Chains A and B, each alone.
Chain A
């Protein structure tokens, strides 16, 4: 019983971490109808950016300076846009038309110099995390400007294919830029095991503190997203766009800006996932495989539901771990020979497909009713 509970709890906590990646998919799908296959690659990119800034000893100084400059330029542009009332626009001939370039270059230089001054020590976490967010905002801007905007009004499948392209680009480019090693990320989250209910079960139930931290971080993130979506002006605009692009546009909600925001938020979610998974495994290429772990979570939970991503993650996490551990037992009972495990990868999809048979839109997905 204790062992079953241990596997179940371990699975649930792993499931929460899958949810972290699935959340990024849900956000973008809700707001733009785009299934963003690049979410796993964004986790890698965010993690690499953070580790560059936080512990640059792993990589060259000039990479660190480059990332510092990029993040400062992004922050400069965002500040400028806010100061000028949400726009960069200026009349032809007005000197202010050049202001974004001036600010980007100026802030970039300042960031570069700051990074250089920090040298091999890197930045403290309170500065490195916002800077990594700025890098993800830059990625969001590039994706919106160079991938989504030219493809506006295209079929969903075209946009999906475009995100596939983005995935391979980010995967390959990040490795070219930052290398392919495993970079340990140690931001102070404890990795020690702890034992629950030691009085009830011999040896207690083992739970890893890092998984608990991951669960708490995921909870805070979901709460934050809920407030962002429900209580803020931008959140309401996002929900409006999610409901109907054309209607939202007709009441003056700028679609491009909204897409940029939602990709930026997905970038932040990717960074959180990278922090938790990176603390566990180190920042490394295999983080992109997390996208494949998020797929069954999405199938099960629904593509448009934040609670669905959480519940889906829990079910998939617990389901696959229990299946992996008890598969040899069940096969021995059925056939007389215990088959070794190695089933958790495909079992997650079997579980998701089973749910799909009964609820094609997923557990919490919106039921689409079209009247002819």
Chain B
């Protein structure tokens, strides 16, 4: 028995040494390192997997089709966070200095991890891209120099969701005296829309009912019994992972109409509706501009990325909402690097240089078409004072088989958003003793 144990121990040791050798690839000097914080295991994996696939496939595409970004190959590495803040920070610490110039930027894909990294990014000088999530006030780049909530914040999302509800009801004046429930993941993520919804409830006279759901969200009976009792006119869903499909099932269990539910754009993908089967039909959710389906870049993805260099995607899944989102997210990062290269040269860049690229990112309709994202994105322009870049969204509805776009474009209402962002970011700057940049002097 002892001999066997010793042999097993020796084998394990040899394996560990071998794995270490594999896990530490040597970086070429002309490579730009991009970390991917992903979650392919755990309660949030059904949503984390397609996003990570879309992201990594886009980097594969750039390497295989174009030979990198202007000749600079992308070296990327995934780190499993399991959507846990502590693991996310651990991944950040492990990967921030990798590659010849350190990490280009981080996409935490978790508001909790974003909150933690917001404190670290200015010290390490690495930008944090939080496309469609993160701290809503970080739109103000004068205070949040290193945060980039591209395409939309939760305040924008809440505002757009209420615009859609108002439209369905026949105008904002019809909201008076009505009841809107918010079923939310009891975490920094889920709580983000509350300030905007509270402001709007005061402005338009509707009652806001707050119903938190504890992680991971598989037990929601009490919340939905309250919905049955209180009968809100509409219910907003701010969930993630298995919480979303559970909400849809529980809504069906209390006979709450699915077409009176509007999910945020993180509650509007295939893994959120498919597990609930027919019960999901009619459910609506916001779109972070793009939806499901293919656009021109998918042909290149199929040709240059699928089945290559460890791609884990299945051909049938590459038109899913979250796969597309991962791809859009990766593309914006790549274009920021390209923008920075125009100023600093076609070589691996530091996080600080890429931050400049992000802040000067300007994607015109023509460029979006050239990149193969036509129809999925509207033009966007980032600036020192606006790290969000655009505030547009639509609504799609699950037909039982596919997502169907059911609305025109909505624009986040800056009359409400600007003062909220200004006041909250000023408060943050005061707390953290940050001197806001003078954006008129930035170039």
Contacts and interface: CB of A to CB of B under 8 A. Distances in A.
A182 B228 contact: no
B222 A344 contact: yes
Contacts of A14: 219, 221
Nearest to A284: B242
A284 B47 CA distance: 12
B246 A281 contact: yes
Contacts of B43: 284-286, 289
Interface residues of B, number: 36
Interface string A200-241: 000000101010000000000000000000000000000000
B257 interface: no
A321 B186 CA distance: 16
Contacts of B218: 281, 286, 289
B249 A280 contact: yes
Nearest to A320: B222
Nearest to A282: B275
A14 B212 CA distance: 19
B46 A284 contact: yes
Contacts of B253: 191, 193, 208, 210
A341 B225 contact: no
B212 A340 contact: yes
A148 interface: no
Given A184-B275, A206-B254, A285 B225 contact: no
A289 B216 contact: yes
Contact of B275 (A182, A210, A341): A182
Interface in A249-295: 280-282, 284-286, 289, 293
Contacts, number: 101
Query: Which interface residue of A191, A286, A321 has the most chain B CB atoms within 10 A?
Result: A286
Interface in B318-339: none
Interface in A159-182: 172, 175, 180-182
A182 B245 contact: yes
A301 interface: no
B228 A10 contact: no
A59 B102 CA distance: 39
Interface of A: 3, 6-7, 10-11, 14, 172, 175, 180-184, 186, 191, 193, 206, 208, 210, 280-282, 284-286, 289, 293, 320-321, 324-325, 340-342, 344-345
Interface of B: 40-43, 45-46, 49, 186, 210-214, 216, 218-219, 221-223, 225-226, 228-229, 242, 245-246, 249, 252-255, 271, 274-275, 277, 279
Given A6-B229, A340-B212, 8 more contacts: A10-B222, A182-B275, A184-B274, A281-B218, A284-B46, A285-B43, A325-B226, A342-B186
